[in-house]
Chains A and B, each alone.
Chain A
Amino acid sequence: MGMTFHSLLFRDIPPGNLAEEAPPCLSDLNLDLVIDAITEPQERHHLKPCFYTPLQDTRDILYRQEVMRDLEDQNLRGAIKTFTDRLTTVKRYLALGEKLDFEYHRKGWFLEGALLYCEILTHLGRRLDDLAPRSQGLRAFGEYLASLRASSRFQSLAREAREVKEGLSRVRYCIVLQDGKFKVKRYEGEEDYSREVEKTFEKFRQREVEEDRLTPSRVPGTSHIEAKILEFVSRLYPQPFAALDEFWSKHAGFLDETVLNFEREVQFYLAYLDFMAPLKARGLPFCYPQVSSGDREEEVRNGFDIALASSRETETIVLNHYSLRGPERVLVVTGPNQGGKTTFARMFGQIHYLASLGLPVPGTRARLSLPDGIFTHFEKEETIHDLRGKLEDDLLRIHQMLSRASSRSIFIVNEIFSSTTFQDALFLSREIMEKILEMDAMGVWVTFIDELSSMSEKVVSMVATVSPQDPAIRTFKIVRAPARGLAHALSLAKKHRLTYEDILERIGQ
C-alpha cells in the first residue's frame, strides 16, 4: 500500500495552533470536569488542547471516528496502552540519565531506558501484525513500525543491554554511617536488625492508632554522597562497570521521533475509551454521530449527561430523546425542580461538543449539525448579596454572547433570572428569546417561566415529567408536551424545592 504516516489525529499534517484554554461553555456543561477526568491520568501528554479544539470539517471528524472504531477492539487497545504506558517510563529514565552528575548514575538510567524501549517496541510490532487494524491512521503506523524493528541498529541495542544489566545486579555491599562520615565495604552476611526491634515493640501496637508505615523522607537518590558510595562500589567490583561504559558510548540517542508522536496522539483516543468503558459497562449507550454542516434537523435517541453519569456511579441514569424538525430551533424545558432539566440541557451541549471532537457521543443514534460555537448561561448556585449587581452582570454576559454568535451557534440557557422578581424575569427572558430566534440559532432553554414555551413555532416545549401514579416521583424523562401552569408563590416554593412533593423527595434521599 505504501501509506505515509503523518498523524493519528488529522488526515493531513496537523494544524499548529490548538486551543490552550477551555472554551467557556465547558464548565457549565460540566465537560470541564469530564475532560479533566479524561486527561488527568495522561497529564504529561498535554492532551487538553485536543479536547479544547473542536473540528470545523466533517472529514476530519470521520478520520477520527475510524481510528476510534479500531481502538474499540479490546486486544488492539490493550497492546497500544501497554506500549504507551511503558514508553513514558522509558522517557523518564532517559531524562534522568541526562541530568545526573555522576557518570555511573547517568549510565545506569540510560541502560534502564534502553532495556525497556527494546522490549516494548518488539512487543507492539508483533501485536499490530497479529491484530490488523482497518483505519487509515493505524495501518500506516503499523507499516512504519515493521521497518524500524528490522534495522540492525535496533537488534544490537537489545542484545547488549541485557548482558550489561545482568553483571550489575549481582553486586551487594555494606555502609557504616557515623557522625559526618561513612565507610563502604563488601557485604559479608550481616543479619537484619529491624525485625528484632519490631518484635519487642509488638505489644504496644493498637488497632485504633493509624498504621502509617514510616516511609523514609527520601527514596534512594543520586547525590554526591551516593555518587561517592557508588564510586567505592565500582572499585570493589570493577568488571560490570567497564561493560556499562562501553554500552553507553555505542548507543546514544536511540529513541525514534515518529514513535514518540504516535504515542502522544493515541492518548486522545485511549483516554476517551477509558472514560467510556465503565459507562458502557453500566449499559449506557454510545454511538458514532452522523454530523452534517448544512442540515438543521437533529435527532438524538437515548442520550444522557455524561458528567452526571460518570460522577454517580451507582445511580440509574435516565435516557432522553429529542428532535428538531422543520422550523424548530429551541427546546424550552419546564417542569419540576430536580426533574432532570439541567441534566437534559447539559446533555444537549455535551453531545454537540463531543461530536465536533470526532468522538462517540451518548446515545443509540445521533444526527447532528456541526455548530460553530456553544454559548451557555447558567444561573450560579451561590447566593449573591447584591441582586442588582448580579442582574447587571447576567445581562452583560448575555449581550456579549449574542454579539458573538451566528445562525450556526448553539445557546444553552439554564434557569436565569430566578433570583429577580417574576415580572422582571418574564420580561427579560422574552426579549432575549426573541433575539435568539431572530438569529435562527439553536439551543435549549431551561426555565420556570411557562410562557416561554409557547412563544413561536421555532420553540419546542419539553417538560420534565413526574410519575402519573405519584406526582412526588420524578421520572427524569424530558418529553415533548405543553408546559403546566403554576401559581407564583408556589413556583417560588418550587424554585427552592420546598413544595410538598419536593420535600418528600428531598428527605427521602
Chain B
Amino acid sequence: MKVHLLYPHQGPDPQRPLPPNHEDLIRDLELEVLLDAMSQGDQFLREVALHHLLWGLEDREVILYRQEILKDCLRLSPVVEEIYHTTLEFMERKSRWWYLSSTRHSNPSLVLSSSLHVLEIALDSLRALRSIGDHHSHAFQSRGFRRFFSMIQEELDDQYLAEVEHHINALKFPKGTLLSAQLGKGNQGSNYQLSKPHSPGENWLKRILTHRSPVYSFTVHPRDDHGLRVLADLRDTGLARVAAAVSRAARHVEGFFKALREEMAFYLGCINLHGELKPWGLPVAFPFPERQEKHCFSARGLYDISLALTVKSKVVGNDIEAHGKDLIIITGPNRGGKTTFLRSVGQAQLMMECGMFVPADSFTANLSSGVFTHFKREEDKGMKGGKLDKELERMSTVVDHLRPHALFLLNESFASTNDREGSEIAGQIIGALTEKGIKVFYVTHLFEFARSFFHRVREKVLFLRAERLPDGRRTFKLKEGKPLETSFGADLYRQIFQGEEELPEHSKKP
C-alpha cells in the first residue's frame, strides 16, 4: 500500500535534512512569513512546508502531477481535511501503545505484542479511509487521488481485514512455549527452534512403543530477576522469527499512515496559504515549469508574497521577459524595489519547484538544481579588517553546493571592497558561474563589473534597472536598461535629511 500523492512513483523523504543553505534562504527570501501563512501555527505543517519548499523537484512531470492534485485539494478542501484527520487519529491512538518504532534492539515478545496492538488500531483507521473513498472518490480528477482511492478499495477488502483479525488472536501462546535445542560450542545451547508439541494422542502411542524421556523441572525463585530474564530471553529466541513477520506487517501499515499524514500536510499548507491570499485579492497562478537545460524566465505581475502577506494588500508586481538569459544584472537606485524583486524570483522558483501556485499573474521558468542566495550582510559592513575575506568565505560556502542549472540570487555581493577589486572578483566568479550553466540574478552597484559584461556578452545577459521617474520618485518597478554610473544614494540622503545642509554623501558616513 503506497500513498503516492507527492510523487507518482515514490514516497516522501522525511529523513532528509534541510539543505545546508536553508538558514540563508529563509532569511534572504523572508520565508518565515510564507511559512506562517501555510502552517497557521501548526509546527508539523510548518516543517513539512519548509521541507518541500527547500527541496525543490527537478522533474517537471512530478511538478505537474502535484499541480493536478493541488487543484483537486483547492476544490474539495473539506474531504482533504477529513483524510488528514484520519491519519492524525491513527497516530494519536497508536502512540499510546506503540513505544517501539525500531525493533532492532527490542525483545521479540514485546515487539510481537505491540505489533499486534498496532494492527488492531490500524483496522479501525483503514475502515474509516475506505468509507471516505466509498463516498467521495468520484469527485476527484487528478491522477494521484484517483489512484489512491482505487488502491484503498482493492487492497482493503473485507476478507483481508478478517484474516488480519484471525492471526492477531492466534499468536498469544497460552500453554507455554516449546523449544528444541542442541549443545553447541562450549556446551552452550544452540539451534533453538520454536516447536509444536506432540498432540496427546501421539504421546500416548509413544509411551507404549518407546522408552519415554525423563522430565526435569525447575521453578525460578520469584525474586530471581536475572533468572526470570533469562527465561524470557530464551522464549524471545524462539519467538524471533514470528515476531519479525508480525512487526513487518505493523510497520508497513504504520508507514502508510505516516506517509499519508506527511503528504496531506503539504497540500493542507497550500490550502491554508490560498485562504490567506484570497481576502486581499492577491493573484496566484499555476506556473509552467521548463526543463533545467532550457533556460528561460518570463513573469507577469510577479510580486513578493511575504511583503504582500505582511502589508495585507496588493503590492507592485513586475513583468519580466528574460528568455535564454543566464545572467540578469539589476542596477539602479537604493530602495527602488531591487531586493523585493530578487526575493519574488526566489520565492516563485521555490514554490514552483515543489508543485505550488506562485505569486504572479503568470510565470514560466526553467527548473533549477537548487536555489541559492548571497545577500549583503550587516556583519560584512561592520568588520574592520577582512570583511572581503568573510564575504568570500560565505561565497565559497555557496559555491560548494552549486551545480549546473542552479539559480543564484546575489544582492550587493562584494560591496565590501572598492569597485575595482570587487568588480574583478565578481567578474571572475560570475563569469565562471554562468559558464557552468548557473542562472544568476545579481543586484549590484559595482559599475566596472556591470559595464564589462555590458560590453562583452550581451546576448546572454539582461540588464534591469530600478525605475526612477524624472522627478526623482521611484515606481518600484524594474525596467530593462543599461547600468548608470551614478548610484542614487544621494536621493535617499536628501529624502531622509530633507532641509538639512547638503553634504557630499561620503563625508556623512561614520
Contacts and interface: CB of A to CB of B under 8 A. Distances in A.
18 contacts: A108-B186, A108-B188, A109-B186, A171-B182, A172-B181, A175-B189, A177-B235, A181-B217, A190-B180, A214-B247, A216-B107, A217-B236, A229-B189, A236-B214, A383-B393, A487-B424, A500-B431, A503-B428
A492 B388 contact: yes
A209 interface: yes
What's the interface size class on A, roughly? 35 or more
Nearest to B215: A185
A496 B395 contact: yes
Contacts of A200: 167
A168 interface: yes
Nearest to B219: A181
Nearest to B406: A507
A490 B107 contact: no
B433 A503 contact: yes
Interface in A491-509: 492-493, 495-504, 506-508
Given A168-B183, A177-B179, A181-B218, A208 B395 contact: no
Contact of B213 (A214, A217, A236): A236
Interface in A194-223: 194, 196-198, 200-202, 204-206, 208-218, 220-223
B99 interface: no
A224 B227 CA distance: 7
B242 A503 contact: no
Contacts of B167: 200-201
Interface stretch (B136-144, B194-202, B276-284, B460-468): B194-202
Contacts of A497: 396, 399
Given A177-B231, A222-B188, A383-B393, 12 more contacts: A175-B179, A185-B213, A192-B193, A194-B238, A201-B242, A204-B248, A216-B107, A216-B108, A217-B105, A220-B190, A504-B432, A507-B404
Given A507-B404, A507-B436, A214 B244 contact: yes
Interface in B136-189: 167, 171, 176-189
Interface in B398-457: 399-400, 402-404, 417, 421, 424-425, 428-429, 431-433, 435-436, 438
Contact of B389 (A209, A213, A235, A419): A419
A90 to B, nearest CB: 13
Contact of B198 (A104, A172, A188, A205): A188
Contacts, number: 285
A182 interface: yes
Contacts of B240: 213-216
Nearest to A171: B183
B76 interface: no
A326 B66 CA distance: 73
Contacts of B241: 194, 197-198, 214
A236 to B, nearest CB: 7
Contact of B252 (A109, A172, A204, A503): A204
A232 interface: yes
A208 B385 CA distance: 54
Interface in A315-363: none
B417 A489 contact: yes
B103 interface: yes
Interface of A: 93, 96-97, 104-105, 107-109, 111-112, 168-169, 171-178, 180-188, 190-194, 196-198, 200-202, 204-206, 208-218, 220-226, 228-230, 232-233, 235-236, 383, 387, 419, 421, 487, 489-490, 492-493, 495-504, 506-508
Given A175-B179, A216-B233, A182 B218 contact: yes
A183 B215 contact: yes
Given A190-B198, A201-B245, A223-B227, A507 B396 contact: no
B247 A187 contact: no
A197 B177 CA distance: 14
Interface string B251-268: 110010000000000000
Nearest to B193: A192
Contacts of A209: 248, 251-252, 255
Interface of B: 1-2, 11, 103-108, 111, 167, 171, 176-190, 192-198, 206, 210, 213-220, 222, 226-228, 230-231, 233-238, 240-249, 251-252, 255, 385-386, 388-389, 392-393, 395-396, 399-400, 402-404, 417, 421, 424-425, 428-429, 431-433, 435-436, 438
A473 B247 CA distance: 54
A105 B187 contact: yes
B76 to A, nearest CB: 28
B111 A214 contact: yes
Interface-central residue, A105, A200, A236, A508, by most chain B CB under 10 Å: A200
A208 B213 contact: no
Contacts of A212: 103-104, 244
Contacts of B222: 180
Contacts of B217: 181-184
A503 B399 contact: yes
Contacts of B402: 506-507
B489 to A, nearest CB: 24
A421 B385 CA distance: 8
Nearest to B418: A489
A180 B220 contact: yes
Contacts of A419: 386, 389
B230 A221 contact: yes
A508 B436 CA distance: 8
Contacts of B395: 496, 498
B230 A507 contact: no
Given A168-B183, A492-B388, A220 B248 contact: no
A207 to B, nearest CB: 10
A507 B441 CA distance: 18
B177 A183 contact: no
Contacts of A176: 176-179, 197
B354 to A, nearest CB: 23
A487 B420 CA distance: 12
Contact of A107 (B184, B187, B219, B399): B187
A426 to B, nearest CB: 15
Contacts of B385: 387, 421
Contacts of B438: 507
Contacts of A196: 196
Given A177-B234, A185-B213, A225-B220, A172 B255 contact: no
Contacts of A180: 219-220, 222, 228, 231
B205 to A, nearest CB: 12
B206 A188 contact: yes
Contacts of B421: 489
